Amino acid sequence: MNFLNHSKRYYQYLLAILAVHLFSSGEGLFAQQDAQYTQYMYNMPSINPSYAGSKESLSVTALYRSQWAGLEGAPKTQTLSLHSPIGYRGVGLGFGILNEQIGPTSETYFDLDFSYTIFTSREGRLSFGLKGSAHLLDIQYSKLNQDFSNPNGPDPLLQQDIENKFSPNIGAGVYYHNGKFYVGASVPRILETTHFKSSNISTAKERMNLYFTTGYVFEMNRDLKFKPTLLTKVVRGAPLQIDLSANFMFNEKFIVGAAYRWSAAVSGMLGFYVDDGFLLGLAYDKETTDLGGTSFNAGSFEVLLRYDFKKGKRGRIQSPRFF
């Protein structure tokens, strides 16, 4: 038991140090990665602004993620987004709020998305998007466990909390889709914003995260669809992230899937259309790293709710699109 308690405190300490040094370091620069989702395929505006309006209807999505459940200070993420085409042909708008807590840090993003779509064929659509963001950062150094303080005296880095530090950002993306296939590339945050600066401490910058996504829907038979998807994320100073997933849709209502995050986690996903256009999604991640083998890490959980307002001629969703 003492060993388990010691290990848990060790990982909590690492989380605290990671959260602090995510923004500041006395030695050099650290890369910051964007919030991570297993069900990203149902929350695409968060990573690609050109997706805004692509569903040809008002769509509202809420997502909650708890990572490494059971470990105090582990990442927790909440998002709320909506997007829709507007009156002018080809134009889409979206708005999103993202909040993430890691140890003593809390970040909030307010995003505004704009997209313009070119009709390349009867079903093909090519969209270009821009994202504008307002970012608020809080770091509560005072919440750090005093057991981890510097034995040689107070660390100047930990003496003053940061509250609502504001910084703007911009992003861009491109997205193509037809009835069965999609592919997109995006950089949600282009500006390498300086989050912390002191005369005694070197600065840290938010790095650009480059995303590439693609997927294809195979109609196996009248009642079964199969969709493999790929997401890659590249950010300087961090390992390449590759997410592979496979989802099956039964009867236009039930979704069952699995995913693998390269050298990081395996995941299971469930989805259910509670009503026409109302999707409930659940996901569970099991770490494949050393952290996944600890008794105090119960895995990562996601809950997603999405409602699409598009109605057919009889007031029903004609056919839920699988992306």
Using DSSP's 3-state secondary structure scheme, residue 21 falls into: helix
Separation CA 28–CA 188 (nearest Å): 24
HSE-CB of 294 using CA atoms within 13 angstroms: 21
Q: What is the pLDDT of residue 111?
A: 98
In sequence order, the 6+-apart residues with CB closer than 8 A to the CB of 210 are: 185, 186, 187, 233, 234, 235
Pick the CATH number of 48-194+202-308 from 3.40.50.800, 2.40.160.40, 3.40.605.10, 3.40.50.2300: 2.40.160.40
Q: What is the pLDDT of residue 10?
A: 46
User: Closest by alpha carbon to 261, among 290, 240, 238?
Assistant: 240
Separation CA 138–CA 21 (nearest Å): 13
Q: What is the pLDDT of residue 1?
A: 42
Domains in the chain: boundaries = 48-194+202-308
Reading the block at residue 64, the tokens are 């909650």
CB 98 within 8 A of CB 79: yes
CA 109 to mean position of chain CA atoms = 12
Count, in order, helices (H) and strands (E) of the chain: 1, 18
In sequence order, the 6+-apart residues with CB closer than 8 A to the CB of 283 are: 38, 39, 259, 267, 268, 269, 270, 301, 302, 304
Taking CA atoms, 247 is separated from 83, 94, 164, in Å, by 24, 26, 40
Reading the block at residue 60, the tokens are 């509202």
What is the pLDDT tens value at each position of the chain, 323 positions in all?
A: 443 444 455 455 455 545 444 444 334 444 456 888 999 999 999 999 999 999 878 999 999 999 888 787 889 999 999 999 997 789 999 999 999 998 888 999 999 999 999 999 999 999 999 999 999 988 887 766 545 445 555 555 556 777 778 999 999 999 999 989 999 999 999 998 776 555 445 445 678 999 999 999 999 999 999 999 999 999 988 889 999 999 999 999 999 999 999 988 999 999 999 988 899 999 999 988 776 666 667 889 999 999 998 755 455 555 567 78
